[in-house]
């Protein structure tokens, strides 16, 4: 199986490359602006001609598209860029993958749901209703992904790990410096450990699973609870973490109050469950200190 990762310098992409390499799976990966030791070539998927040309040259069995403009607040103010990457760029990648008969795997987001606490956790059969422009573009990406005859759409939630910048690496750096953190306590999700999501992508490819799946962690908790647990497991003073409301924080884009996902359909298909945050934090703490 030949795997081609769009966005190999990012958190999920880099984990896919690492895991594929360990499994002796042939893998190539792209970067957009910053090459890494995990990437092979530059690609901006908003360039349809270049995307098609690269896919023709590589001719992979599987394309995993992890590339996105995912700065939620910035998407509100940079709508042209957000649409170009997350919607139109995804269409370019899906068409290019379909033209070489590759299985196209696209990563979406839990933010496609409105986040009413009474409605969560959401299943794949629940209706979407994005609250912000980022989520609107990612849902448009879901629809574009289905251009490919063989396509899988995955919805993760708050992806975290240590191979690339993300909320967890930011929080750990702040805690390292002894800084106090104000973290929202009224945004609930099902955080997703990046190595689990990478593993799922490869298993989906191996098993030829298509369709829509929620691909998030098994534990729903607020961002504040998540960060307190991180501090506890990694040996920091949890008292450095204080709760704050979304209103007081004043984020540009509206967020769902509870976008927790029910990922049991994927767990049953793969016959395993993603890692809970406390256990994942212990793994990344060990990795960080070795």
Model confidence over 261-274: pLDDT tens digits?
A: 999 999 999 999 99
Cα 130 from Cα 115, distance rounded (Å): 9
Rounded Cα–Cα distance for residues 245 and 258 (Å): 14
Q: Is residue 163 predicted with pLDDT exceeding 90?
A: no
pTM given for the model = 0.96
The three-state (H, E, C) secondary structure of 40-74, written as one string: CEECCCCCHHHHHHHHHHHCCCEEEECCCCCCHHH
Closest CA to 178 of 112, 241, 125, 132: 241
Residues of the chain with pLDDT > 90, as a percent, come to: 93
Which H or E run includes 103?
strand 103-107
Using pLDDT thresholds of 50, 70 and 90, give the confidence band for residue 165: confident
Report how far apart, in Å, the C-alpha atoms of 4 and of each of 31, 40, 61, 113 are: 12, 10, 8, 29
On the question of pLDDT at 30 being above 80, the answer is yes
**H or E stretch including 151?**
strand 151-155
- Is residue 289 predicted with pLDDT exceeding 90? no
> Is the backbone peptide bond immediately before 266 cis, with ω within 30 degrees of 0?
no
Tell me which of 3.30.420.40, 3.40.50.300, 3.40.720.10, 3.40.50.720 is the CATH number of domain 2-165+192-217+260-274: 3.40.50.720
For the CA atoms of 194, 196, 200, 202, the dihedral, rounded to the nearest 10 degrees, stands at 70
pLDDT digits (tens, 9 = 90+) for 116-143: 989 999 999 999 999 999 999 999 999 9
Residue spans per domain, the chain: 2-165+192-217+260-274
104 is catalytic: no
CB-based burial, 30-61: b 16+ in 10 Å, e otherwise: bbbeeeeebbbeebbbbeeeebbebbeebebb
CA 136 to chain centre: 16
- 242 token code pair: 């204080």
Give residue 100's pLDDT. 98
What's the mean pLDDT when you consider all of the chain? 96
List the catalytic residue out of 104, 111, 134, 236: 134
pLDDT reported for residue 150: 98
């Amino acid at each position: 199986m030949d795997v081609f990762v769009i966005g190999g310098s990012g958190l999920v992409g880099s984990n896919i490359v690492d895991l594929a390499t360990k499994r002796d799976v042939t893998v190539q990966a792209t970067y957009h602006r910053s090459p890494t030791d995990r990437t092979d070539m530059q690609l901006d998927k908003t360039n349809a001609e270049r995307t098609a040309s690269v896919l023709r040259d590589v001719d992979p069995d599987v394309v995993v598209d992890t590339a996105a403009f995912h700065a939620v607040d910035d998407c509100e103010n940079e709508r042209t860029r957000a649409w170009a990457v997350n919607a139109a760029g995804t269409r370019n990648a899906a068409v290019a993958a379909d033209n070489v008969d590759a299985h196209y795997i696209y990563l979406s987001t839990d933010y496609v749901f409105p986040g009413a606490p009474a409605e969560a956790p959401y299943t794949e059969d629940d209706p979407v209703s994005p609250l912000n422009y980022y989520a609107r573009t990612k849902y448009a990406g879901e629809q574009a992904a289905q251009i490919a005859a063989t396509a899988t759409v995955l919805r993760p939630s708050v992806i975290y790990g240590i191979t690339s910048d993300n909320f967890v690496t930011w929080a750990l750096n702040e805690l390292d410096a002894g800084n106090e953190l104000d973290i929202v306590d009224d945004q609930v999700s099902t955080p997703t450990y990046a190595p689990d999501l990478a593993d799922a992508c490869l298993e989906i490819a191996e098993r030829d699973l298509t369709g829509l799946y929620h691909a998030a962690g098994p534990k729903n908790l607020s961002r504040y609870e998540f960060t307190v647990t991180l501090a506890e497991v990694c040996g920091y003073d949890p008292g450095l973490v204080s709760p704050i409301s979304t209103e007081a924080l004043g984020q540009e884009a509206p967020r769902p109050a509870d976008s927790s996902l029910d990922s049991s359909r994927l767990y049953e298909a793969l016959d395993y469950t993603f890692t809970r945050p406390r256990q994942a934090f212990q793994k990344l703490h060990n990795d960080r200190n070795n």
